[in-house]
Amino acid sequence: MKATALAPSNIAFIKYWGRIDEILRLPTNSSISMNLSGMHTVTTVEFSVKYERDDVEIDWQKNDRETERIVDHLDRIRNLAKINDRARVVSRNNFPSSTGLSSSASGFAALTVSASKAAGLELPEKKLSVLARLASGSACRSIPDGFVEWEKGIDGESSYAFSLYASKWWQIADIVVIVSQNKKDMPTTQGQKLAGTSPFFKTRLNLINEKIKECKSAIAERSFLAFGNLIEKEALEMHAIMLTSDPPLIYWQPATLQMMKLVEKWRKEGLQVYFTVNTGQDIHLICKKDDVERVMVKLRSLDIVRNIIINYPAKGTRLVKKHLF
Ligand code: PMV
């Protein structure tokens, strides 16, 4: 059978950085995110006896860097469905991959939902989130709708993501500013393994539950200033862990830092905009929907900006009818 799924990427406001179990991908802390309307992956999977081996095509290319991880995930789904057929997988991202824009989140969420359906499984959302997590931690947050919490859990089955609020809850925007399309040197999955080597990691974990509580109340109350302040500090804290890891991880480029300084300046001028950054040079500017045009005017005048993607809160991963092959 053939099935196709569309999955949004997501941006974490409270970040997942560090794991207590590498195989099960259990995170050291819970995290909070929002699905992104303008950045998604569409994936079609077909299992059939006609295929001699798994055949994977991502963005019109055979992608060796990712194939092994995808085949491992197909194996998990084959085991659950008790089938042996090989698969053809075709996947398209509408945004650059491997540059720190969380294409693994949307990619593995889309693969999980399309492949399990194609294998004949009917899985509830919780199980799909658990399954997606095994392939890429942040992918479990792209399964449910809107504003999402990933509860770290205590074992493989209790670590999954669920919706806190549907996408319509709060009209905020995430303007992704692409400053370079260079692929990152250190893939996130490898970088995560170094979190515990930072002398500040324990301090982060001591304070994280309080921060998660504050983040959830800022979203509940739609309190933008409290929210913006908190998420910007959180992004810098995660990068403080990366910068002080052994070996250190420096994911920023000069243009990333320039953007941070500009955001600080625009705020002093009265524009309510904050930033967050993941494992790449590109930066996410968070503002209220009503302020998007004002931020865009500022961005259009900058020569460091290569591309811009405007996102609003989005629904989670869903099956779609139009197949890619
Ligand atoms: O799921 P991974 O292994 O791609 O890790 C995601 C890590 C960050 O994007 C930096 C933080 C997060 O919570 O999304």
CA–CA distances in Å: residue 154 to residues 20, 24, 167, 204 = 10, 11, 28, 19
Q: What is the reported pTM?
A: 0.96
Given a contact cutoff of 8 angstroms between Cβ atoms, the answer to whether 4 and 114 are in contact is yes
Q: What CA–CA distance (Å, rounded) separates 250 from 240? A: 10
Helices (H) and strands (E) in the chain, counts: 8, 13
Percentage of residues in the chain having pLDDT higher than 90: 90
- Chain-centroid distance of CA 87 in Å reads 25
pLDDT of residue 100: 64
Pick the residue with more confidence: 73 or 281? 73
Does the beta carbon of 10 sit less than 6 angstroms from any atom of ligand 1? no
- DSSP letter string, 262-317: HHHHHHHTT--EEEEE-SSS-EEEEEEGGGHHHHHHHHHT-TT--EEEEE-B----
Ligand 1 pocket test, pick from 17, 22, 236, 252 with the greatest ligand atom count within 8 Å of Cβ, gives 17
pLDDT of residue 200: 98
Q: Is the pLDDT of residue 183 over 80?
A: no
Q: Which of 51, 309, 319, 30 is nearest to 181 (CA)?
A: 309
Given a contact cutoff of 8 angstroms between Cβ atoms, the answer to whether 146 and 165 are in contact is yes
The pLDDT tens digits for 126-172 are 999 999 999 999 999 999 999 999 999 999 999 999 999 999 999 99
Does the beta carbon of 276 sit less than 6 angstroms from any atom of ligand 1? no
Q: What CA–CA distance (Å, rounded) separates 284 from 112? A: 26
- The mean predicted confidence, pLDDT, of the chain is 95
What secondary structure letter does DSSP report for 61? Answer: B
Given a contact cutoff of 8 angstroms between Cβ atoms, the answer to whether 45 and 114 are in contact is yes
Q: What CA–CA distance (Å, rounded) separates 140 from 112? A: 10
Does the beta carbon of 241 sit less than 6 angstroms from any atom of ligand 1? no
Given a contact cutoff of 8 angstroms between Cβ atoms, the answer to whether 86 and 52 are in contact is yes
* AA letter at 120: G
Confidence at 206, pLDDT banded by 50, 70, 90 = very high
Provide the pairing of β-strand 283-288 with 273-277. Answer: antiparallel
Given a contact cutoff of 8 angstroms between Cβ atoms, the answer to whether 151 and 159 are in contact is yes
Helix (H) or strand (E) holding 21, with range, is: strand 19-21
CATH of 1-325, one of 3.30.230.10, 3.40.640.10, 1.10.730.10, 3.30.1950.10: 3.30.230.10
Centre of ligand 1 from the C-alpha of residue 52, in Å? 34
Confidence at 181, pLDDT banded by 50, 70, 90 = confident
The pLDDT tens digits for 279-314 are 988 999 999 999 999 999 999 999 999 999 999 999
